[in-house]
Amino acid sequence: MGGARSERRERHAVVVGGSLAGLLAAHVLAGHAERVTVVERDRFPTGVKSRPGVAQGRHPHVLLEGGQSALESLLPGFLAELEAAGAPRVGMPSDLVLRQDGRWFRRLPATTHIYTGSRAQLEAVLRRRVLADPAISVVEATDVLGLLGDAARVRGVLLRDRSHGARGERRALEADLVVDASGSGTKAPRWLTSIGADAPYEETIDTGLAYASRVYRGPGGFLDGDTAGYYVYPGPAQVHAGGALPLEDGTHLVIVSGLRGDEPPTGDDEFVTYTKRLPHPLLHRWLDEAEPLSPAFGYRQAANVRRRYDLSARHPAGFLATGDALCTFNPVYGQGMAVAAMSAVALRDALAAPRRTATTRRVQRALLAASRQAWDISAGADRKMPGAIGTAVGGRPADRAADWYLGRVQARYPGDPVVGRAFRSVLTLSAPLTALFAPAVVRAVLLRPPPATPAEPPAAPEERGSGGHRPERPPADR
């Protein structure tokens, strides 16, 4: 799969899907193959625009710290380009009004930052960087119909030009490696069975979560001059969630969510009324004064799905899955973009390992490992939600002890600086789960009661530290 470019035979890799995961995989593979072809069913837009193939493109996206580190490792200077394009960099918890499990968070100095700009903006910056590599080419407006090869080895893909629908020209595109980065709607399990290989076992947890989002411009500052955004996290006792996060143009993207049978509406008045289900009227009051700039868009496919290619007895060489095609998370936890970037780092490191042969199975396991912590967080939280269904809802016997400890962590997270720093580092995928068992954290969790937290939404940070700052706001007419 790897090797030096000095070999005579030209190696060719095909990446199915041109979103974040696909582009980053192509970037990595360009260091190991003379040609990399990205096959994308859409046409890439000019500038910052949502693509039809990104079903969640109109909804909030955050880039967690683990994803930031991964992107910077892959594409040095990327974060500076993202900030230059206007992406808000928001300190947590200092810059946001946050609520979870009936508690408002203390607005302590930031220990981590997230980027909250639009998905379209981030993809535009990424495309510009990745597609500048002459080894990478793109085939747009094209469907992948299946795989070439057999149960032993994948040897390419079968393509069809979408511009002529079902009558479009079909052609074979041979490749030494095919990477499926086609997203949560992947058809790879069906493609594999059609060549005699095994479809992966799927682990699923579905809470029935649905959400709706809409762009607003606030009257001057948002909430108050020291607050960039607002968010209520869902939980078993408070299933409705929502808030508002800043975008690159000075507007805010408002989201509300509920569970199966109580999905948020997309009508103008109904959308605003639905915010009354949140445990405090803060967001509803702000919407009464804010100007809506877009319709409300709904989304209802928020299940956690993990495809266990590592367990397949008949998994062909020359085929890998990454990004949402491998592991899809409930979007409410904001992990998808970070895991896509971290998976690309795992791909890079697995292909470059000097003492281990980069077999398909070994690299696929490395990609799965890159998503494991995010899965443990998302699946662990969602299996506790009322009405959750799926093959992985039951969990493991060891989960009971872990749930007891994590429950104590969460009770202290909103108000304890030590526990809060550690838990945020885990949730943002910048530190392993073992960070929750550092001696100072264990002492706080086991020996101290939960500290007091604000009775009302805190209007300002408790103090200005070097870590937290209010994100810059472009002028309203930009």
| Residue range 234-273, pLDDT digits in tens | 999 999 999 999 999 999 999 999 999 999 999 999 999 9
pTM of the model: 0.92
- Top-confidence residue, 208 or 353: 208
Distance CA 108, CA 460 (A): 10
Q: Can you give the pLDDT at residue 8?
A: 54
- Top-confidence residue, 97 or 8: 97
Distance CA 132, CA 457 (A): 46
Q: Does residue 1 surpass a pLDDT of 80? A: no
Q: Can you give the pLDDT at residue 276?
A: 96
Q: Can you give the pLDDT at residue 472?
A: 42
Q: What mean pLDDT do residues 84-102 have?
A: 96
Place of tokens 């928001």: 90
Distance CA 457, CA 230 (A): 10
Q: Can you give the pLDDT at residue 2?
A: 47
Q: Can you give the pLDDT at residue 222?
A: 55
Grade residue 465 by pLDDT with cuts at 50, 70 and 90: very low
Round the average pLDDT of the chain to a whole number and report it: 91
Of 55, 131, 62, the C-alpha closest to 471 is: 62
Go through the domains of the chain in sequence order and give each one's CATH number. 12-61+123-204+303-381 (3.50.50.60)
Q: Does residue 470 surpass a pLDDT of 60? A: no
Is there a contact between 253 and 59 (Cβ–Cβ < 8 Å)? Answer: yes
CB-based burial label for 1 (10 Å; 0-12, 13-18, 19+): buried
Instruction: Report pLDDT digits (tens) over 130-170.
Output: 999 999 999 999 999 999 999 999 999 999 998 877 677 89
Grade residue 220 by pLDDT with cuts at 50, 70 and 90: low
Q: What mean pLDDT do residues 302-313 have?
A: 95
Kindly give the residue spans of alpha helices, DSSP state H, lying in 244-290: 268-274, 282-289
Q: Does residue 225 surpass a pLDDT of 80? A: no
Distance CA 321, CA 177 (A): 11
Q: What mean pLDDT do residues 406-415 have?
A: 96
Q: Can you give the pLDDT at residue 219?
A: 83
56-60, 328-332, 343-347, range with the lowest pLDDT:
56-60
235-249, 292-306, 384-398, range with the lowest pLDDT:
384-398
Q: Does residue 79 surpass a pLDDT of 60? A: yes
pLDDT above 90 covers a percentage of the chain that reads: 84
Q: What mean pLDDT do residues 45-74 have?
A: 89
Q: What mean pLDDT do residues 100-113 have?
A: 96
Helix, strand, coil percentages (3-state) for the chain, rounded to 5, are 35, 20, 45
- Start-to-end CA distance of the chain, whole Å, equals 47
Q: Can you give the pLDDT at residue 473?
A: 40
Q: Can you give the pLDDT at residue 223?
A: 61
Q: What mean pLDDT do residues 83-100 have?
A: 96
Q: In what order do the strands lie in the sheet with 170-174?
A: 142-149, 154-161, 170-174
Q: Can you give the pLDDT at residue 397?
A: 77
Q: Can you give the pLDDT at residue 5?
A: 44
- Top-confidence residue, 399 or 309: 309
Q: Can you give the pLDDT at residue 138?
A: 98
Q: Can you give the pLDDT at residue 205?
A: 97
**What's the token pair of residue 238?**
């408070």
CB-based burial label for 311 (10 Å; 0-12, 13-18, 19+): exposed
Q: Can you give the pLDDT at residue 287?
A: 94
Q: Can you give the pLDDT at residue 3?
A: 45
